[in-house]
Every structure is written in C-alpha cells, then in structure tokens.
Amino acid sequence: MKRCSTLSSERCVTVMGWKWNPSRYARFYAVQCGEIEVEKKIDDKIEQFITWIGKHPNKKSQICLTFYEVKTKQPSWFTNKIERLYWEQWNINLSAFQPPTKPPVGKSHHSKLVMDHPGEESEDISSRRTLLEQSLQEVLFQIIKFVNEKKDHVPPINDGVIYCPFEITFPSSSDSTFGMDMLKRMLHSGGHPSMLS
C-alpha cells in the first residue's frame, strides 16, 4: 500500500505531507499526498483489497494503479464526452500469506506488542520486519528511479491542478467483474501511445 501512496504522491502536484505508518510488519515513513480526497480514495481501495484477500487467502493478486488525463470530446452515440487518457499504469503484484501466528502468552494476536514494546519482539519477527523494510525500500527506490527516468509522458501541470487523476483496480471476487473493469478502461482509453506499465 505504500507503493500506491508513494505513487500518488509522486503524481501529486501540490502540497505533500508524510505520515508515520507504524505497521506491525514494517516500520517506514509513508509519503502521502496532502489531499484528503486522495487519501480517502486510497484508504477505501486498500480496505476493499484487504477484504478480497481475506476471501482469497494465499492467492496472488495484482493491484493496478493508473493515471489518466481527462479530456472532453465531442459526444457521440457510443462514447461519452469525457475521455480518459491513461498515460501511466502501475501493476503491483502482491502475494498475501498468513504469517506464523505464535502470539506470546497472555497477549492478543492483533496486539501492537511488537511496536509498543520493540524489545519484546522475537528475533524472527524482527528479522522479518527488517527484510520487509529493506525490500520495501528497494522497491520505492525503483519507483523513484522509474518516475524520474520517464517524465515526457506526464501531462503538463496546469494551474489549479492539485493531483493527477488516478484509479486503483484489483481483481474483485469474480473475474468477470475484473474483466469488465478492464473493458471499461479500454473503452475509455484513447489509445495513448505513451502508456506505461
């Protein structure tokens, strides 16, 4: 989820903020866009994704983050007057798995014991967290590197534009719905040549 936040922040043209994300499995600083709408949208999608993962445990999934540019065009019979030009797409592959659940005696499984009392966490959790943090850092470095390498396709930043419109999609409970989402995207897409993934 930090990737989505970082990516949205990268494409956020206005003010930016940051927030300490005391995750149980990784301690990192998640850069967030200062826009409430952006944050709310991201949080809602994350909750839906978590729900979907709960229904499909141990299943590989993919989150698709796309940035588009809204353009209006001449309305016709089969097309809307609002057109989305997707100029960047990020595919985030995720594999969710159940971590070894060995809660300490007398403690709740979902307790924040690890973060509240870092000295009491087991070595296994600590090493796993360290690895996760390192991998996250590497991925974020990669994102920054990609973002900086390709800038020509980014639409011009106009005054008044706070952030680049985006959408987050992931496989829903049924594949057919996911396919419909992809179809809708294709219909809305104007065949932007510099679409990135």
Partner 1 sequence: MNRSSSNSEGAKAEQIIFEFFAKSLHIILESRTPFMSSRNFSGDQMICSPSPSCSSSSSSSVRPRDKWFNLALRECPAALESFDIGRRSSLEPLVVDVVLVARQPFVGDQMSLSDQDELACETKNEQVIERWLVQYDNRKVREAAASRSSSSNSKLQVMYKKATLLLRSLFVMVRLLPAYKIFRALNSSGQICKFKLVPKVPTIVEPFTRREEAEMQKFAFAPVDTVCGRLCMSVLYRSLSDVSCEHSAPVSPTFITDYVGSPLADPLKRFPSLPLSYGSPPLLAFQRRHSWSFDRFKASSPPPSVSCSPSPTRSDSQALVRRLPDIPTGRRKDEERDFSPPCSPSGPVSRGITRTESAPVRIPAPSFESKQNLVAPSPRLKLLRQASLKPVRNSGGAVESGAGLEKLFLYGREEFRRSSGVRLSTNSSPRISFSRSSSRSYQEDFDDNDFPCPFDVEYDEISDPSSRPGSFDQRGDIHEPPLESSGSYPKKSQDAAVGALVNMLKKAPPLRQDVSESSIPEIYWNNNKKPAGAHDVAAASMTASGIALAAKTTADALEELRSYKEMKNVLLSQSTMGSSSVTTSPFAVSGS
Contacts to partner 1 by CB under 8 A: 6, 9-10, 12-20, 22, 28-29, 31, 34-36, 137, 140-141, 144-145, 147-149, 151-152, 154, 156-157, 160, 162
Task: Work out how close the CB of 78 gets to partner 1 at its nearest, in angstroms, rounded to a whole number.
Answer: 34
Nearer residue to partner 1 within complex by CB, 22 or 179: 22
Nearer residue to partner 1 within complex by CB, 100 or 156: 156
d(CA 189, CA 66): 11
Task: Work out how close the CB of 109 gets to partner 1 at its nearest, in angstroms, rounded to a whole number.
Answer: 24
The CA angle 145-93-181, to the nearest 5 degrees, is: 110
Nearer residue to partner 1 within complex by CB, 157 or 182: 157
Using the structure block, give the residue that is written with the tokens 């897409």: 189
Nearer residue to partner 1 within complex by CB, 125 or 164: 164
Judge contact between 25 and 99, C-beta under 8 A.
yes
Residue 25 CB neighbour total at 10 angstroms = 14
Instruction: Tell me if residue 82 falls in helix, strand or coil.
Output: strand
Q: Distance between the two ends of the chain, CA-based, in angstroms? A: 17
Task: Work out how close the CB of 96 gets to partner 1 at its nearest, in angstroms, rounded to a whole number.
Answer: 24
DSSP string, 19-57: EEEE-SS-EEEEEEES-HHHHHHHHHHHHHHHHHHHHST
Task: Work out how close the CB of 82 gets to partner 1 at its nearest, in angstroms, rounded to a whole number.
Answer: 20
> Which amino acid, 124?
D
Task: Work out how close the CB of 157 gets to partner 1 at its nearest, in angstroms, rounded to a whole number.
Answer: 5
Nearer residue to partner 1 within complex by CB, 109 or 151: 151
